[in-house]
Amino acid sequence: MAIVYIEMRRRGLYLDDVDAVSSYKLSFDYLRSQAVDSTASLRLLGTVRQEFSS
């Protein structure tokens, strides 16, 4: 059984409804497919760090 946990400011919410979990899984899979790899992420963080420390 899959469960989604949503953290909010004052409480958390657990969802175990199959349709709700499927919807969150689809969203997570899309976001993961759009993310860059770890090397590119580190390069981007380094660039941003330099911009903020200048």
Instruction: For 18-34, write each residue's pLDDT tens digit.
Output: 999 999 999 999 999 99
Residues in the chain: 54
Q: What is the mean pLDDT of the chain?
A: 95
pLDDT of residue 19: 95
**Backbone phi, psi, residue 35, to 5°:** -75, 150
